[in-house]
Amino acid sequence: MLIARDVRLEVGTRLLLEGASFSVQAGDKVGLVGRNGAGKTTLMRTLAGYNPPTSGSVLRSGNLGYFSQEAALPDLERPDMTALERILSARQIGALLRRIEETRKKMERLEGPARDEAIRRHARLQDEFDAKGGFIAEAEAKQVAANLGIGVDELDQSVLTMSGGQRRRVELARILFAETETLLLDEPTNHLDLDAKAWLVDFLSTYRGGVLMVSHDLPLLDAAITSVLDLDNTQLEAYRGNYSGFLVERKKRREQRERERRHQDQAIDRLEANVRRFKGTTEKMAKTARAWETRVERMKSELVEVQKSGKKVAVRFPQPNPSGVRPLIGRGLAKSFGDNLVFVDIDLAIERGERLIIMGLNGAGKTTLLRILAGEETADLGEVVLGHNATLGYYAQEHEQIQVGMTVLDHVRSVSDQVDLVLRTLLGHFLLADKIDQDAATLSGGEKTKLALAMVVLGRPNVLLLDEPTNNLDPQAKSALLEALHQYRGTIVLVSHDTDFVAQLEPERALMMPEGKTLYFDESLLELVALA
């Protein structure tokens, strides 16, 4: 159970939330919604106990599981901890399993009394493992991992060597495997394929504890939640029903407030007109006018609050200088991580002005290939050749270019020699003008996405390499990005699992990974996009 009482949240001098009181009880499935930067992630971290509220209180009862939208490496017990051990650690089983294996290996090397002691220790550990339901729990952990798209080979992989998307799936598996009474889930569907999303919806529908979830995955919100908390302009408002019902009810409430406000404004205008008319007349009427003035002041203090519509993101990629006919070529590319061969013998030649999508299941190497094309990673075999006058702009899905301790303004300064006035104006278009002095690492996921896109825009590239650019973006920001890409005349290479976004972008070709086969894109491939 989770109870928030009169919570106020501030970041620096900026007020995010004021006077919020609500609870998440067993069986509640609550969606927390709001535009990017409204304060949803800050509120989630406060509820989880990572940050104290500026004022007010948060009461927690029972075990709470918090899934962050960040892909940062968690605090690991050992640098070589595997994905399976990380998941099992949610029930204090992973470390025990490792000690059993280490003791077994010692038994094979030792002799005499030392070996006998190792055998007894192994037996004690095994008994403890059995008492905690170890074998059943291990099977359950593997099943949860498989449902979230974590392969058998990935379970034996060190968490340190995993990509951001892989780590997020492991952390989500760990949170869901843990025995919790309340779940706080911040963008849980990022990096999940269609089957994994469907399984997550089923899991949440049968979960007996309380759930508070932030997600821009609207179908998930519709299917999984029973109420909504809307965070807008420092206020938190509750709605019953799913997301679609919330949209209808929010519109009704806004229209009702607008009607009430119009009536109040009209009544005030009439009284003020009478005050002006009679204030300078007879003493009796002047006295009445003063009473009306008092009434007007009281009415103004009781005005119905009507929230102004929020500002909209304005994304625009400057039209670039043209590149050569083939701005980017890959020949015989291969990549492996240890014993894990990701792909081999990939050839591609990207044409000027085309839209190419890289497709494949989780673990097929889509992000790795894009990083190699961007020069962020080196292929084990093969080469990448930039064509005539080609300039690259790379958007990384895990925001690797955003550094801790650097302000938002310093980040855009690092990629542009434009004067600060121009940079501030650009940040304003991305709704980051009020955060220019904020440590960029403390931005929400959606705000980091906007900052990373702003940095790409400033580079004026003629080849865009975009890795899941719609993750964490609210619907309006996603629509603005799509419109900007439609107007952009350069070349686009895209990795995305967002079916609607890909369908509207209308790529010409698809590169299928890990085979490296190139196909002309049509609607029949959209089902595969959702599985990516």
Q: Quick check: is 410 in a domain?
A: yes
pLDDT at residue 99, as a whole number: 74
Q: Quick check: is 455 in a domain?
A: yes
Tell whether omega for the bond before 318 is within 30 degrees of 0, i.e. cis: no
pLDDT exceeds 70 at position 405 = yes
Beta-ladder partners of 15: 10
pLDDT at residue 372, as a whole number: 95
Residues 6+ apart with CB under 8 A from 342: 335, 336, 363, 364, 365, 368, 514
What whole-number distance in Å separates Cα of residue 520 and Cα of residue 140?
Answer: 41
Q: Please give the average per-residue pLDDT across 18-26, as a whole number.
A: 93
Q: Quick check: is 142 in a domain?
A: no
Residue 244 DSSP SS3: helix
Q: Which residue in the block uniquely carries the two structure tokens 């061969």? A: 341
Q: Please give the average per-residue pLDDT across 243-261, as a whole number.
A: 87
Q: Please give the average per-residue pLDDT across 274-286, as a whole number.
A: 77
Per-residue pLDDT tens digits for 294-336: 888 888 887 767 666 556 767 777 888 899 999 999 999 999 8
Q: Which residue in the block uniquely carries the two structure tokens 């609210």? A: 474
The torsion region of residue 531 among left (phi > 0), alpha (psi -120 to 50) and beta comes to alpha
What whole-number distance in Å separates Cα of residue 279 and Cα of residue 283?
Answer: 9
Least confident of 43-57, 319-333, 341-355, 356-370: 356-370
Q: Quick check: is 303 in a domain?
A: no
pTM above 0.75, yes or no: no
Per-residue pLDDT tens digits for 59-84: 998 889 999 887 666 667 677 788 98
| Number of domains into which the chain is organized | 2
What whole-number distance in Å separates Cα of residue 110 and Cα of residue 408?
Answer: 58
**CA-closest candidate to residue 214, choices 193, 236, 185, 194:** 185
What whole-number distance in Å separates Cα of residue 268 and Cα of residue 276?
Answer: 12
**CA-closest candidate to residue 490, choices 320, 331, 258:** 320
Strand order in the sheet with 55-60: 14-24, 2-11, 55-60
Per-residue pLDDT tens digits for 142-155: 999 999 988 888 89
Domain that holds residue 119: 105-131
Beta carbons within 10 angstroms of residue 15's beta carbon: 14
Q: What are phi and psi of 52, to 5 degrees?
A: -80, 150
Per-residue pLDDT tens digits for 159-205: 887 877 788 899 999 999 988 999 999 989 887 887 888 899 999 98
CB-based contact 347:326 (threshold 8 Å):
no
CATH number, domain containing residue 463: 3.40.50.300
Select from 131, 165, 181 the last residue of a domain. 131
Residue 188's H or E segment, with its range, is none
Burial of 356 (0-12, 13-18, 19+ CB in 10 A): buried
Q: Quick check: is 394 in a domain?
A: yes
Q: Quick check: is 440 in a domain?
A: yes
pLDDT exceeds 90 at position 31 = yes
CB-based contact 260:253 (threshold 8 Å):
no
pLDDT at residue 106, as a whole number: 78
What whole-number distance in Å separates Cα of residue 58 and Cα of residue 117?
Answer: 49
Beta carbons within 10 angstroms of residue 323's beta carbon: 23
pLDDT exceeds 80 at position 342 = yes
Supply the mean pLDDT for the chain: 86
pLDDT at residue 74, as a whole number: 65
**CA-closest candidate to residue 430, choices 453, 414, 412, 411:** 453
Q: CA–CA distance from 4 to each of 18, 61, 215, 257, 378 (Å)?
A: 12, 12, 21, 26, 49
- Residue 36: DSSP 8-state: T
CA angle 467, 402, 442 (to 5 degrees): 115
Residue 33 DSSP SS3: strand
Q: Quick check: is 153 in a domain?
A: no
More confident residue, 104 or 39: 39
Q: Quick check: is 407 in a domain?
A: yes
